[in-house]
Amino acid sequence: MIVTAESEAQQDISDREAILSVRDLQVHFRTDDGVVKAVDGLSFDLAPGTTLGIVGESGSGKSVSNMAILGLHNRERTTVGGQILFQGTDLAGADERTMRRFRGKRISMIFQDPLTALSPYYTIGNQIMETYRRHTGANRKQARARAIEMLTKVGIPQPERRVDDYPHQFSGGMRQRAMIAIALCCDPDLLIADEPTTALDVTVQAQILDLLRELQAEFDTAIILITHDMGVVAQMADDVLVMYAGRSVERGSVREVLGRPRHPYSWGLLSSIPHLGGDVNTPLRPVRGAPPSLIDVPAGCPFHPRCDFTDRVGGARCRSERPELDSPTGRAAACHLPAETADRIFLDEIESELGIGAES
Ligand code: SF4
């Protein structure tokens, strides 16, 4: 069972005004082979203090969309269209100078591999201090005190001594904690976490997720959690966005999307992971085929070459007509299957095969 109960408190939070509104985001790269439509019409809202899990296979546009939010795309080869409204400022067309005012201070990011994200030449303390001083104007003494305070918050033992260590003197889990300390030292409103626990073993992964939840509650930070791991989403997220071929194909609360998904791609993602309570003799079913080239996305529904349910739609509609999300806000799926039909297929054919239940 991977579905967590959605608390009333979470419902209250999701009613709060969005801190980030992404509308029809498009991120296209020019390459020698053609234009790569890495993100092609992505929309979502994020409220303060809540977590949005973005899931999908490699190349689905998860990381690229968030690099665009941070303005870290290659500006010479990339076109960014649509809107990225962050606290009222549209970051989609913002220049590098504007982005520097936001990046690191109001929007921070943590990456999958802290060893490559941290500089090996500077102590952990110096790297926190540099970020803090750049954005707050604090002096060295104040910044060092902040570095020790942040290392304490993220659970580094003996922070007064370890603040002078270099990254290679920290374990993998401690380096990720140090990355979180850097990311949160300026008390950002939005944290983008790109596969933050993928490189860690399961025990350390659980500790890091606990830590992120604690710090989120303390700082009221909104989090975008990019992951391919539905288990991490179930533990951490309030809402989920499933991406395929640069578009969102399903979104809703964790309970809705993991408890009763409506898009065949979401069914495939759930069928490809083991479930507690599932029959150990039931083989995992990966989504067949491979994601499409983003230079030449199939006409109609981009998922149709891999979908086992086109015959339930009738005719050649899946091959000729691109489905849009069936609701502009909240719960939605981009599939020609009517919602009631999708629910029935999930309950009768998918859920029973997985051996999981939607109740939690
Ligand atoms: Fe499958 Fe058709 Fe739905 Fe696309 S629109 S997911 S091809 S049933």
Question: Mind listing the pLDDT tens digit for each residue in 106-123?
Answer: 999 998 777 778 999 999
How big is the chain by its Cα radius of gyration, in Å? Answer: 21
176 in Cβ contact with 112 (< 8 Å): no
* Predicted structure pTM score: 0.88
**pLDDT value at residue 277:** 58
**pLDDT value at residue 278:** 58
Q: Following CA atoms 274, 281, 355, 8 in sequence, which dihedral angle do they give, to the nearest 10 degrees?
A: -30
- DSSP assignment of 72-130: -S-TTTEEEEEEEEETTEE-TT--HHHHHHHBTTTEEEE-S-HHHHS-TTS-HHHHHHH
Higher pLDDT, 314 or 24: 24
With 80 as the cut, is the pLDDT of residue 352 above it?
no
**pLDDT value at residue 105:** 86
With 60 as the cut, is the pLDDT of residue 6 above it?
no
| Residue 333 CB less than 6 A away from ligand 1 | no
CA 5 and chain centroid, separation? 20
In the chain, domain spans: 122-185, 261-354
**pLDDT value at residue 1:** 35
pLDDT digits (tens, 9 = 90+) for 36-70: 999 999 999 999 999 999 999 888 888 899 999 99
Count CA atoms within 13 Å of residue 22 on its CB side: 22
* CA 289, 292, 296, 300 torsion-angle sign: positive
| Residue 318 CB less than 6 A away from ligand 1 | yes
pLDDT digits (tens, 9 = 90+) for 267-303: 998 887 665 555 666 666 678 888 898 999 999 999 9
| Residue 323 CB less than 6 A away from ligand 1 | yes
Angle at 340 between CA 334 and CA 344, to 5 degrees: 105
Count CA atoms within 13 Å of residue 173 on its CB side: 17
Mean pLDDT in residue range 84-100:
90
For the chain, the average pLDDT equals: 87
Instruction: Determine the distance separating the centroid of ligand 1 and the alpha carbon of 128, expressed in angstroms.
Output: 47
| Residue 303 CB less than 6 A away from ligand 1 | yes
84 in Cβ contact with 68 (< 8 Å): yes
285 in Cβ contact with 268 (< 8 Å): yes
- Mutational pocket test of ligand 1: of 262, 269, 301, the residue with most ligand atoms within 8 Å of the beta carbon: 301
- Give the ligand 1 atom nearest the CA of 307: 1
| Residue 301 CB less than 6 A away from ligand 1 | yes
- Give the ligand 1 atom nearest the CA of 312: 8
Compute the distance between CA of residue 258 and CA of residue 331 in angstroms, rounded to an integer. 12
